Structure 1
Amino acid sequence: MATRHVYLVRHGVADPFGELTDVGQRQSELVGQRLAGLPIDAVWHSPLPRAVRSARIVGGHLPNAAVREAAELVDHVPYVPAGAPPEWAPFFDGYGAEEAAEAKLRAGALTDRFAGPADTETHEVLVTHAYQVAWLVRHALDAPPVRWLGLNCGNTALTVIQYRDGGSAPTVVLYNDMGHLPAELRWTGFGAGTRP
């Protein structure tokens, strides 16, 4: 039975202009080192600079993997709920029917391309953004679309989803794992708060 192994990585810490910081570069090096022992076939990345740079750093540790852009991985809101939970209402202020339709199209393209089995055993790294990781995890769990709102991930945290042929449900193997990062590089990308 062929399995598609998808390794989701949120890009490293970026500055306000979307470029990787020194911390983001170090985070990307460390996740690349963690993935180096795996038979990675490809590294796909969002077209945004912070993801492009992270993917190139990760790809430097994976000499047999092609590093390529995938437009479906671009940062976007994947789902605009008709009635946003009260704590999220300010976030969705100004999103209308047109934005909701665009979100649905982009989310569909993302899952169509990356959330299903492959013809052969494959191992792919997707360097993308927090919302896209959340959307793919929500999809794998077959949770209601609004549940992407409750899923966040740290910069260069590792999430792994397996898709098998034969119609079986996807398996979320790992979510938001930061074991490759020293304590001072963990939990970036989250708001302030107490962390384990």
Structure 2
Amino acid sequence: MPARRLHLVRHGAADPFGRLTDDGHRQSELLGTRLAALPIGAVWHSPLPRAVRSAQILAEYLPGAGVHEADELVDHVPHVPGAPPAEWAGFFDGYDAAEAADGAARAAALTGRFTRPTGTDTHEVLVTHAYPIAWLVRHALDAPPARWLGLNPGNASLTVIEYRPGAAPTLVLYNDMGHLPPELRWTGFGGGPHP
């Protein structure tokens, strides 16, 4: 049965201005090497500079894959719970109803565009941000809308979801960083020890 395979990638580590750092470049190169053996047909990316540059680097390892911008992949808060969990109250402080509605519309556009089976075997890379990846994983698992909170993919990590006609989505990988050496894993998270 043919599958649409989305290889979801969080951009490489970036500085406060959204430019890839040296670590972010290296992370993207290592991920490109990992993906090079796959028949990637398209690389889609967010319009934000850190995702654009990560996609450009990946494309160097994926000759023949078209590179395209997709507004649906822009960084956004996909869902604001009506009553946020207490530990998330500060995160949602200041979001108004218009921003929440915009986030919901963007989330619907994201899933509407990328989660339908195509009827053929395809491999697509989506270079995006932590929140859209968390939303797509939540969607694939048919979890409640607020469950995207707490799903935190690392920079240049790989998440793979398969979509087949007539079947529920399959989460194949989540937040896989096996292509990165330990010193390049977990970039973008808070301090403290990580596996």
Calculate the TM-score normalised by the size of structure 2: 0.98
Q: Distance in 2 between matches of 1:168 and 1:77?
A: 28
What are the superposed Cα offsets for residues 26-82 of structure 1, whole Å, 9 maximum, x if unpaired?
Answer: 000000000000000000000000000000000110001011100000000000111
Q: List 4+ stretches of structure 1 deviating above 4 A.
A: none
1:1-196 → structure 2 map (5 Å cutoff):
1-165=1-165, 167-196=166-195
Report if the CA contact (8 A) 2:119-2:164 is conserved: no
- Structure 1-normalised TM-score? 0.98
Alpha-carbon contact 1:32-1:57 (below 8 Å) kept: yes
Count of matched residue positions in the alignment of Structure 1 and Structure 2 = 195
1:118-174 CA distance string (max 9 Å, x none):
131110000000001100000000000100002001000000000001x21000000
CA–CA distance in structure 1, aligned partners of residues 104 and 153 of structure 2: 21
Tell me the distance in 2 between the aligned counterparts of 1:193 and 1:169: 37
**Which sits farther off after the overlay, 89-98 or 177-186?**
89-98
Give the fraction of aligned pairs with identical amino acids, expressed as a percent. Answer: 72
Q: Gaps spanning 5+ residues in structure 1: where?
A: none
- CA separation in 2, counterparts of 1:139 and 1:176? 16
1:43 aligns to what SS in structure 2? strand
Give the gaps of 5 or more residues in structure 2: none
How far residue 195 of structure 1 moved from its aligned partner, in angstroms, is 1.1
Distance in 1 of aligned mates of 2:89 and 2:54: 32
What displacement does 1:194 show?
2.1
CA contact (8 A) 1:153 1:189 kept: no
Distance 2:145 2:190 in 1: 23
Measure the CA separation in 1 of the matches of 2:144 and 2:191.
27
Q: Secondary structure at the match of 1:173?
A: strand
Secondary structure of the corresponding residue to residue 149 of structure 2:
helix
**2:4–2:162 Cα contact (<8 Å) kept:** yes
1:108 maps to amino acid: A
The alpha-carbon deviation at position 190 of structure 1 amounts to 1.4
Q: Distance in 1 between matches of 2:116 and 2:150?
A: 23
In 2, the alpha carbon distance for the partners of 1:137 and 1:179 equals 19
Q: Which amino acid aligns with 1:66?
A: G
CA contact (8 A) 2:43 2:65 kept: yes
Write the letter of the residue equivalent to 1:44.
W
